[in-house]
Amino acid sequence: MQKTFIKARLSWDNLKRQTKRVLCNTEGDQITGWLIVVLLVVVVGAFFLATYQNSIIELWNGIVGRMRTVFGI
């Protein structure tokens, strides 16, 4: 158990170091890359929300309706 904890801790520290290195890098190419990724995520998310809006509403209402019947709310 102790070895697993130590491995997890080392992995976590390594991840933090790499994340800090990536986020502190102010080179234009990397910042542009991150902006493109964020833009793509927003555009794809907006597309899916617009396309499947009715399905999402029906699914949500189904979940809430099931919770009401199960818990008697």
Domain total for the chain? 1
Chain segment 7-46, per-residue pLDDT in tens: 888 888 888 888 777 777 666 677 788 889 999 999 999 9
- C-beta separation of 30 from 22 below 8 A: yes
Give the pLDDT mean for 54-67: 91
Length of the chain: 73
Q: Which domain holds residue 33?
A: 2-71
Residue listed under structure tokens 């949500």: 60
Residue 66 has pLDDT above 80, yes or no: yes
Q: What single-letter DSSP state applies at residue 53?
A: H
